[in-house]
């Protein structure tokens, strides 16, 4: 088997080098890849995601990429309400039942479960000898969310295919319809009663969100062992951008009997517009017997979030093209302007407020190890095991100083296992 595999690899490489394949575009045969991701947060959400990816050359040089995704999620997720020094009874953000939260623990919504289906289809075709056009559509649906998107892309090879420039754009139309309906922003959780049937109907009407993306990229061969890609994206979203399941606590003031203790919880409120920008540099280099993949991304948006991510992976091949892929990712973000750990009872209520830890200042780290094993020519199995953690430091407002004895950022520890099976056919 091995000589065939290596011969095949060498032939593919030779063919590619003779026809001069583009730096950004892998010209491959027909292929399928089936992957399963098991995602498990310590004491919280668990998810299983299965993806089937299919690449097929159709007539007249048209290529089809079809991706089917199925997700199942369950478990607990932090609501944004503050932990207390005492056990507290809280109403779930989706309404109705109450839950008992032990002292010092972050309130979570454990009724959370959902399944999501997604279909992505992209057609590509050469436009002349050096350019490619792409046209795609995507749909996804879950119990409380529907999304429909269209995208278009164009790439052009230059300089004997040593340079590839790309431009793509996408538009998404999403509809949010939360379980339990919408509650008025900044209204008290569990305070709604005696609503009329009309009011109730209105509360359950879906809210819309439109997202527009533009991505620019430049890929360049630097030498026979190195390729670099620079890219940038701008995303504009407008519509309902609030998380209907997130709340924040109102706590006792510094002069009260129990400063920092939560009194009640209010539904969060976010601006209805957001512009996100990101620039990224990614380099691939063959070195020390392996392929190094190093990337850096800087992100900024008009909610005040800034972030840096650095991702380093190394693909080291052994006998029979079996390969190990160690990987490390480091991430750091600043908080959104309207992120609050909680609001103090005295003082005005802000117009926008969210205690969602994903909008807080935090650092994240991912460590992983992957393994690729060719089982026969054109077929390989891959396994990746990763650990992801988030640690944040959310200080209470100055007025409360050290009166808040519990950690306000909910720590996150995740184990991710991905198993994939890839197969090429003619």
CB closer to another protein out of 86 and 367: 367
DSSP line for 299-338: EEETTS-EEEEEEEEEEEE-GGG-EEEEEEEEEEEPPPTT
CB closer to another protein out of 76 and 400: 76
* Distance in Å, CB of 405 to another protein, minimum: 27
Q: Pick from 383, 410, 379, 280: which is nearest to 325 by CA?
A: 383
CB closer to another protein out of 245 and 342: 245
3-state class of 13 per DSSP?
helix
Contacts of 208 (CB under 8 A, 6+ apart): 173, 174, 175, 176, 239, 240
Sheet of 343-344, strand order: 262-267, 247-251, 343-344
CB closer to another protein out of 25 and 111: 25
CB closer to another protein out of 346 and 371: 371
* Distance in Å, CB of 259 to another protein, minimum: 29
* Distance in Å, CB of 353 to another protein, minimum: 15
* Distance in Å, CB of 111 to another protein, minimum: 16
Classify residue 203 by its DSSP letter.
Answer: H
* Distance in Å, CB of 366 to another protein, minimum: 9
Q: Pick from 335, 395, 325: which is nearest to 366 by CA?
A: 325
* Distance in Å, CB of 13 to another protein, minimum: 4
* Distance in Å, CB of 108 to another protein, minimum: 15
Torsion angle of alpha carbons 96, 102, 108, 111, nearest 10°? -50
Q: How many residues does the chain have?
A: 426
Contacts of 224 (CB under 8 A, 6+ apart): none
* Distance in Å, CB of 185 to another protein, minimum: 18
Paired tokens of 109: 């919504």
Give the C-alpha separation, 191 to 183, whole Å: 10
CB closer to another protein out of 64 and 291: 291
Give the C-alpha separation, 356 to 341, whole Å: 8
CB closer to another protein out of 186 and 292: 292
C-alpha distances (whole Å) from 122 to each of 54, 68, 147 are 10, 12, 16
Answer for the pair 343, 349: CB distance below 8 angstroms, yes or no.
yes
CB closer to another protein out of 237 and 251: 237
In the chain, the N- to C-terminal Cα span, in Å, equals 19
Give the C-alpha separation, 198 to 202, whole Å: 6
Give the C-alpha separation, 21 to 164, whole Å: 11
* Distance in Å, CB of 80 to another protein, minimum: 14
Paired tokens of 117: 């289906």
* Distance in Å, CB of 17 to another protein, minimum: 4
CB closer to another protein out of 252 and 380: 380
CB closer to another protein out of 232 and 326: 232
- The b/e string for 99-117 (b: 16+ C-beta within 10 A; e otherwise) is bebeeeebbbbebbeeebe
* Distance in Å, CB of 41 to another protein, minimum: 9
CB closer to another protein out of 88 and 418: 418
């Amino acid at each position: 088997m091995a000589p065939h595999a290596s011969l095949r690899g060498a032939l593919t490489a030779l063919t590619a080098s003779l026809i001069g394949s583009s730096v950004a575009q892998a010209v491959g045969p027909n292929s399928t890849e089936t992957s399963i991701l098991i995602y498990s947060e310590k004491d919280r959400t668990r998810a299983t995601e299965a993806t089937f990816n299919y690449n097929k050359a159709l007539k007249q040089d048209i290529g089809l990429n079809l991706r089917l995704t199925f997700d199942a999620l369950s478990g607990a997720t932090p609501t944004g309400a503050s932990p207390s020094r005492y056990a507290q009874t809280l109403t779930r953000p989706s309404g109705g039942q109450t839950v008992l939260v032990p002292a010092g623990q972050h309130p979570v919504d454990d009724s959370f479960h959902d399944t999501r289906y997604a279909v992505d289809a992209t057609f590509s075709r050469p436009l002349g000898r050096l350019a490619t056009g792409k046209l795609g559509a995507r749909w996804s649906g879950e119990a409380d969310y529907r999304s429909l998107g269209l995208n278009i892309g164009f790439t052009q090879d230059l300089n004997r295919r040593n340079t590839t420039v790309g431009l793509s754009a996408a538009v998404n139309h999403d509809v949010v319809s939360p379980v339990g309906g919408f509650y008025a922003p900044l209204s008290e959780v569990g305070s709604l009663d005696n609503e009329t049937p009309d009011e109730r109907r209105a509360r359950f009407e879906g809210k819309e969100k439109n997202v527009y993306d533009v991505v620019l990229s430049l890929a360049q061969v630097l030498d026979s062992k190195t390729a670099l890609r620079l890219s940038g994206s701008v995303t504009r979203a407008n519509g309902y951008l609030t998380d209907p399941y997130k709340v924040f606590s109102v706590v006792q003031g510094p002069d009260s009997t129990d400063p920092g203790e939560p009194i009640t919880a209010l539904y969060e409120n976010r601006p209805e517009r957001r512009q996100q920008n990101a620039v990224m540099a990614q380099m691939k280099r063959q070195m020390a017997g392996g392929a190094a993949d190093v990337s850096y991304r800087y992100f900024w948006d008009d909610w005040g979030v800034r972030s840096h991510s650095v991702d380093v992976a190394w693909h080291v091949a052994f006998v029979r093209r079996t390969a190990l892929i160690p990987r490390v990712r480091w991430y750091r973000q600043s908080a959104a302007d309207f992120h609050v750990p909680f609001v103090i009872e005295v003082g005005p209520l802000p117009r926008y407020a969210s205690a969602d830890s994903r909008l807080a200042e935090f650092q994240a780290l991912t460590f992983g190890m992957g393994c690729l094993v060719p089982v026969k020519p054109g077929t390989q199995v891959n396994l990746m095991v990763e650990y992801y953690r988030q640690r944040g430091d959310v200080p209470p407002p100055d007025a409360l100083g050290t009166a808040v004895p519990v950690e306000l950022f909910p720590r996150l520890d995740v184990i991710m296992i991905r198993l994939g099976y890839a197969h090429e056919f003619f």
